[in-house]
Structure 1
Amino acid sequence: MGVTTGHVKRAFKYRFHPTDVQAAEPSRAFGCVRKVYNLALAARTEAWARKERVNYSQASGMLTVWKKTEELAFLGEVSSVPLQQCLRHLQAAFSNFFGKRAKYPRFKSRKKSRKSAEYTGSGFRFRDGKLTLAKMAGPLDIVWSRPLPEGSLPSMVTVSQDAAGRWFVSLLCEDPNVVPLPAVGTALGIDAGLDRLTTRLVRENQTLVIENLTVRTMVKNRGLARAVSDAAWRQMRRMLEHEAAWYGRDLVVVDRWFPSSKLCSHCGSLAGKMPLSVRAWTCEGCGTIHDRDVNAAKNLLAAGRAVAACGAGVRPQRRTPGGQSAMKQETPRPEP
């Protein structure tokens, strides 16, 4: 298999220090983005209740109407680009929902939602290494902690502010230094206890399989939360996703309820309760002695290969199978 020559797009994030006048524009945009997203979600939810669907084009038409009302005239005071972008994100959220890949979209909260606004090409100007956003008179004071790829121009700019009030700008650029790697025949299952760097994993394996662990739901279990934190699981998954996309690798995500630790990778027997303190165990079915993490990685790899081969989801059986595999194939149902 040959290597493609297309360049990969990467986001380069920097701190910047806006003047009071410059800070006012994105601050207004943050609020307007949240408002438009919630208005569009409400409109689409009402349509959904009537068994109707509203697409991006229709939502964009609604935005035009909202701007002309007295109550929402303030939406016209900010760049229209981030507002259109939030409608595109909502469209993607609904596409994932209809495709049974995500839950129904949620409304954005003033306190909890991320403060950010996206600007596509028509919403900013980048010349001579200086970035100026729409509706701003001058360029941003950016701390260029690292250079952009030589000759690359940003295709999208995201402005954000964190909880501490710090301002960031992220520039999406093509990076000619990152190209897909030659295909290899190896695959790897990755357990939450893994402590290796991600780039090496991606370079050495064509397929990587991980569990769909939700850190927020695991903090209730102090031991498991500590293990996940030690492995920097959230960061590692994000890096794996990016690097797999950059280098032409496959990343397979397995249901977080799949009993990878308790399932014997040798005979398929399913053990009973197994607290995190148990680092090694002996299978009652075949007598195989397992290292917990190694066994889990083997099971994840097998499950990932099944997903890749069949295009199906993997979910656990809810009762001990008595020596049979604790993995079922779940074929996606067509959308009605």
Structure 2
Amino acid sequence: MKAYQLRLYPTLRQRRQLEEAFSACRYVWNWALDRRTRAYKEKGESLNAIALSRALTALKKEKVFLKAASATALTYVLKSQDEAFQKFFNKQARYPKFKRRGRVHSCTFQLDKRRGEKVFMPGQLLRLPKLGPVRVVWSYQDIPVFPNSATVSCNACGQWFVSLQCDCIDVIHPPATDKTIGLDLGLSTLIAMSDGRKEKPRRFLKNALRRLRFAQRRLSKTAKGGSNRRKQRSRVARLHQRIASKRANFLHGLSTSIVRENQAIAIEDLNVRGVMANGKLARSVGDCGWYELRRQLTYKAKWYGRQLNVVPRFQRTTGVCPDCGTVGEKLPLRVRSWTCGHCGSAHDRDIAAARVIDLMGNTARSAGIDACGLAHKPEEAVS
């Protein structure tokens, strides 16, 4: 699947309809989760979306407010809960939770392909169920296929967006290259590359921290339920949104250039969640955006036909000589450069680690396995 996110400007009537749809979707999620939980505890039954959809039809006759939402949006809630339980059974996530009032600000509509241009015309028209035509800023003029669904969301700043999900299509791959690269992520240096380049972190949160603290202090002094509190909460949300947008824009440019220039990319499998548990490092790590950078590299490598190898988490990369392969002593963080005791080569700590990561990725690629030890065909290898 590939998604295209567009800015949405609904009318006042459409905003009210969307807010009612958000509430209806939240109610259906909680109702379905309660039915599933009680059915399993009392009877040992496992309900799925098909069984619950029949009960939902009867529920809509009892709860009239559910008719304000599109039937496709409510059905999609049941499908999403099926996926949530599947992740729980596969031990990829925790047990699904009930959703609190005021916390759900999105819903997904299924689009009817049979109506064709009456529903969707790239750059011209988007018609959503129950809402009719909506005003959209067409940032993407050349969406090549009819979208399967449209997810409408509203962020904390009051900005509305619609995300159009399309079937995955073949992306035009850039010319193949022989270049490979290893990436070592850090805090003082965001990325050290095996070709000797370094990318410094931009510290978007740190640069705006003074203004953010001032805005949050003013928010804490306003009266609950008042208009001043609502206005100040919006100011704080806009500050957070600006920080996140700057970080995302920087990481998108960085990840795209890396993927375009290299045929194979090797990165280290960092325990980001474990590092974030460290109170002294959590803010700096979050400000750097390690996880987001890896996420972007992963899906962009698939788009551009590149190979991404992930070096195992506990594989030693720091203090290893990339020239002779000698594994030296563990280096404390204060040591930024060192000399190999075997061949006498002088190394920058981060660049040497990136070169070792690149060598591991190349070795795995030539052996027909990825850096985590999983067998694959080299030409299809994308971790």
Q: Secondary structure at the match of 1:104?
A: coil
Q: Which residue of 2 aligns with 1:322?
A: none
Q: Which residue of 2 aligns with 1:17?
A: 9
Deviations 1:168-218 (A, max 9, x none): 112345899941345555443322222382223212333323344465654
Match of 2:302 among 225, 239, 245: 245
Q: Give, as a single letter, the amino acid of the residue that structure 1 aligns with 2:105.
A: K
Match of 1:140 among 131, 134, 137: 134
TM-score (norm 2): 0.61
Gap change, CA 1:121 and 1:214, over 3 Å in 2: farther
Q: Secondary structure at the match of 2:308?
A: strand
Deviations 1:214-251 (A, max 9, x none): 65654545557536634x43443343233222212233
Q: Secondary structure at the match of 2:112?
A: helix
Q: How does 1:108-187 map to 2 (within 5 A)?
A: 109-110=99-100, 115-122=105-112, 125-127=119-121, 129-136=124-131, 138-144=132-138, 146-149=139-142, 152-172=145-165, 178-187=171-180
Match of 1:88 among 79, 88, 99: 79
Q: Which residue of 1 aligns with 2:378?
A: none
The structure carrying a bigger helix percent of its residues is 2
Gap change, CA 1:141 and 1:226, over 3 Å in 2: same
Task: State the Cα RMSD in Å.
Answer: 4.3
Task: Report whether the alignment pairs 1:27 with 2:27.
Answer: no
| Number of aligned residue pairs | 302
Deviations 1:287-316 (A, max 9, x none): 6644232233234445556776676784xx
Q: How does 1:42-121 map to 2 (within 5 A)?
A: 54=46, 58-69=48-59, 74-99=65-90, 102-107=92-97, 109-110=99-100, 115-121=105-111
Match of 1:274 among 320, 328, 332: 332
Deviations 1:109-154 (A, max 9, x none): 4379663222232399224712221111x3212233x342076543
Q: Rg bigger for which structure? A: 2
Gap change, CA 1:180 and 1:91, over 3 Å in 2: farther
Structure 2: gaps spanning 5 or more residues = 192-198, 200-252, 376-383
Gap change, CA 1:103 and 1:306, over 3 Å in 2: farther
Structure 1: gaps spanning 5 or more residues = 1-8, 315-328, 332-336
Q: Give, as a single letter, the amino acid of the residue that structure 2 aligns with 1:78.
A: A
Deviations 1:235-277 (A, max 9, x none): 43343233222212233445556554455555463744633x4
Query: 2:310 touches 2:370 (CA, 8 Å); kept in 1?
Result: no
Between 260-269 and 159-168, report the one with greater CA deviation. Answer: 260-269
Q: Give, as a single letter, the amino acid of the residue that structure 2 aligns with 1:25.
A: Q
Q: What is the deviation of 1:160?
A: 0.7
> Distance in 1 between the 2:96 and 2:328 partners?
37
Gap change, CA 1:223 and 1:17, over 3 Å in 2: same
Percentage of matched positions with identical amino acids: 32
Q: What is the deviation of 1:164?
A: 1.6
Q: Which residue of 1 aligns with 2:287?
A: 229
> Distance in 1 between the 2:104 and 2:349 partners?
37
Q: Give, as a single letter, the amino acid of the residue that structure 1 aligns with 2:133.
A: P
> Distance in 2 between the 1:52 and 1:141 partners?
48
Task: Report whether the alignment pairs 1:190 with 2:180.
Answer: no
TM-score (norm 1): 0.68
Match of 2:259 among 198, 202, 210: 202
Query: 2:267 touches 2:309 (CA, 8 Å); kept in 1?
Result: yes
> Distance in 2 between the 1:175 and 1:141 partners?
26
> Distance in 2 between the 1:173 and 1:330 partners?
30
Gap change, CA 1:19 and 1:115, over 3 Å in 2: same
